[in-house]
Amino acid sequence: MEINVFKFCSGLRVLGHVMILLVAAIVGVSYYAVVFLTYGPQLLRGGFDSFLSFTIVIIFHVLLVLLLWSCIRVVLKDPGSVPENWRAVSGEESLEVGTSLAAAEDGFERRSRGGGYCIHCQNGKPPRCHHCSICQGCVLKMDHHCVWVVNCVGACNYKFFLLFLLYTFLETTMVTIVLLPSFINFFGEAKNHSSAAKSAIIFLAFVLNFAFALSLLCFVVMHASLLSSNTTSVEVHEKKGVIRWKYDLGRKKNFEQVFGTKKSLWLFPLFSEDDLKKIPALRGLEFPTRSDVDA
């Protein structure tokens, strides 16, 4: 009996939905522990404790809104699909294509220099494009398929993924810190049956957030390194043995290839229309390369 590996990969989407429910459950437990059980009741007491509690609750909600906003954007946003009948062009046509790309108002010319061909999609593959066995399609500047967001991470939603990663790390770290005093008192209060349920919820929230904060720290550091060198997770293997990575344009330009040039939008899962028109890498079909490296 033959086993279809691609059907098995597609089944991982179900696991992704479970992961989203798990994230929602952790957010719910954390919210209840921080706002309702720990710092919410102190808001009306007055004095420094009330001010501190108010500050913690405000920061908690700001990070939570940014976290959920980024998560929704990375889940719902198409990571970048290859236009139908896209094909690479030969050297003789490159000048003509370059002119048409500059003249196109929407910037989505179906031909470009470089690329290959996908036997699964039976379509051209732009540079840095890879086929995802789970999504059953090619993804522009594919980084990886993330089961936590039930979506691929590619050219069009990589910024949203990085912000989701960052805000989740900051939120879990904050929850860990603000619940630490209650966690320390857990073993003494647990003997009191009236506060046993409250202590158990705080204990659970602390352990979950602490574990997530530690694991997310590794991913934050890893993706910060990839961002600084303009590399995707898939391309790490392609870079082995390469002296100069052709897409590495310097940290500032590498950052702008993902986050855009408008500084006021860097911390939000948004792009300015101007950046989408002027930075081809945000659309995923063309990427500038170093002048000292052969394309």
Residue 278 within a domain: no
Residue 185 within a domain: yes
Q: Are 45 and 160 in contact (CB under 8 A)?
A: no
Between 21 and 11, the higher pLDDT residue:
21
One of 129, 138, 146, 152 is an active-site residue; which one?
146
Between 160 and 90, the higher pLDDT residue:
160
Residue 244 within a domain: no
Residue 61 within a domain: yes
Buried b (16+ CB within 10 A) or exposed e, 32-53: bbbbebbbeebeeeeeeeeeeb
What pLDDT score does 104 carry?
Answer: 37
Confidence grade of residue 233 (pLDDT, cut at 50, 70, 90): very high
Confidence grade of residue 254 (pLDDT, cut at 50, 70, 90): very high
**Structural domains counted in the chain:** 1
What pLDDT score does 4 carry?
Answer: 45
What pLDDT score does 251 carry?
Answer: 95
> Mean pLDDT across the chain, nearest whole number?
85
Between 247 and 189, the higher pLDDT residue:
247
What pLDDT score does 87 carry?
Answer: 77
Residue 163 within a domain: yes
Least confident of 3-7, 102-106, 233-237, 240-244: 102-106
Q: How many CB atoms lie within 10 A of CB 128?
A: 27
Provide the 8-state DSSP code for 44: T
Q: pLDDT tens across 255-283, in order?
A: 999 999 999 999 999 999 999 999 999 99
What pLDDT score does 192 carry?
Answer: 58
Residue 282 within a domain: no
Report the share of the chain in percent with pLDDT over 90: 61
Residue 28 within a domain: yes
Whether 191 has a pLDDT exceeding 60, the answer reads no
Structure tokens at 283: 């659309």
Residue 46 within a domain: yes
Q: Which amino acid is at 3?
A: I
Between 41 and 166, the higher pLDDT residue:
166
**Reported pTM:** 0.86
Domain that holds residue 194: 5-78+158-214
Q: Is residue 146 flagged as an active site residue?
A: yes
